[in-house]
Amino acid sequence: MEGSDWGKRMDVEQARVNMIEQQIRPWDVLDQTVLDLLYSVRREEFVPTQMRSLAFADTELPLRVDGVDTGETMMAPKVEARLLQELGIQAHESVLEVGTGSGYMAALAAHRGRSVLSIEIDARLYEFGSANLRRAGIRNARVQQGDAALGWSENAPYDVIIMSGSLPVLPEALLKQVRIGGRIAAIVGQAPAMTAQIVTRISETGCDTLPLFETCLKPLRNAWRPDPFRF
């Protein structure tokens, strides 16, 4: 490796260390298995090429594919890491992700769980996320194109569901697609007041909600909204 390439590689690795130590650990992400994943699953290889210099920045990144803005974004690294930690995905568990985007969250989840099914509504991001996962050698995650704002019932029930866009409210249909003991990671509310939460199904009809932190995230496309005239 030539000196300039070596220097660039070292700069990237230092940026990764800074992201983990300065952004992610202070957000109470202390699970060493999660931190190790952030070293091994290379975030810069999932962001659009022109955004790679910002791959480790503490911000959402716009997903531009072939120079075209899809209108979607990658979550900030600390949000991805905290949700992954709090979900506690186990090696035997199946995961549904709604909103593939870059494929990065699917890659992280695939390293923790048995399988990941990721659904993407945007054809450009379906291709982009799929290509990133293939390039990264992720074999237990597959991407399908479709609208999963109300889940993906044909493969239900799942152990874990990850919503990669915010929701005004969590639809009942999603709760019915996780097993008892299963968890949903979602960011719920209206801008500017949204709350990241883990919702655990504890019985056929009951669930327990753990609020994590306040944030703001772009809404999921076609997210379900309750009828304002229904009483």
- What is d(CA 142, CA 123) in angstroms, rounded to the nearest whole number? 15
Q: Do residues 124 and 65 make contact, with C-beta atoms less than 8 angstroms apart?
A: yes
- What is d(CA 228, CA 75) in angstroms, rounded to the nearest whole number? 29
Arithmetic mean of pLDDT, 202-229 = 90
Domain ranges (residues) in the chain: 3-215
pLDDT of residue 226: 82
CA-based nearest residue to 55, from 80, 89, 86: 80
pLDDT single digits (tens) 51-89: 999 999 999 999 999 889 999 999 999 999 999 999 999
- What is d(CA 32, CA 6) in angstroms, rounded to the nearest whole number? 27
Could you identify the residue written with the tokens 């070293």? 39
pLDDT single digits (tens) 171-200: 999 999 999 999 999 999 999 989 999 999
Q: Using DSSP, state whether 69 is helix, strand or coil.
A: strand
CATH topology of domain 3-215: Rossmann fold (3.40.50)
pLDDT of residue 199: 98
Q: Report the percentage of the chain scoring pLDDT > 90.
A: 88
Could you identify the residue written with the tokens 């809404």? 219
